Amino acid sequence: EAQVTQNPRYLITVTGKKLTVTCSQNMNHEYMSWYRQDPGLGLRQIYYSMNVEVTDKGDVPEGYKVSRKEKRNFPLILESPSPNQTSLYFCASSFRGQGARNSPLHFGNGTRLTVT
């Protein structure tokens, strides 16, 4: 089954404790992206990757890191989480960029992160 898999689904941590949220897709997609979803703000892009070893900042990259060593994986790293990073996070992928002509985004089921 074609899918984007995020882990964990729920995560509670404390300020300053490094964490990683994993994302993996099995569709051979070139493009991958991370978003955070907050009430009243919709989806905001954190980082994206056009292909292996090619990553770039989105709209809200502060406090986050990513890597793209393999095509299928795109982990999100919070080196020193803070309470303002409490949010719902989504990973997404597509063949060629966001909303390419025949390539809608495929989303994971989300990771709800709470930083206390």
Residues of this chain that bind other proteins (CB under 8 A): 4, 31, 33, 40-43, 45, 48, 50, 56, 58, 90, 92, 96-101, 104-110
Helix (H, G, I), strand (E, B) or coil at 84: helix
Enumerate the β-bridge partners of residue 6. 23
Token pair in block for residue 93: 């992928």
Least distance between other proteins and beta carbon 81 (Å): 22
Q: Which is nearer to other proteins, 48 or 74 (CB)?
A: 48
Q: Which is nearer to other proteins, 12 or 14 (CB)?
A: 12
Task: Give the separation between CA 47 and CA 108, rounded to whole angstroms.
Answer: 15
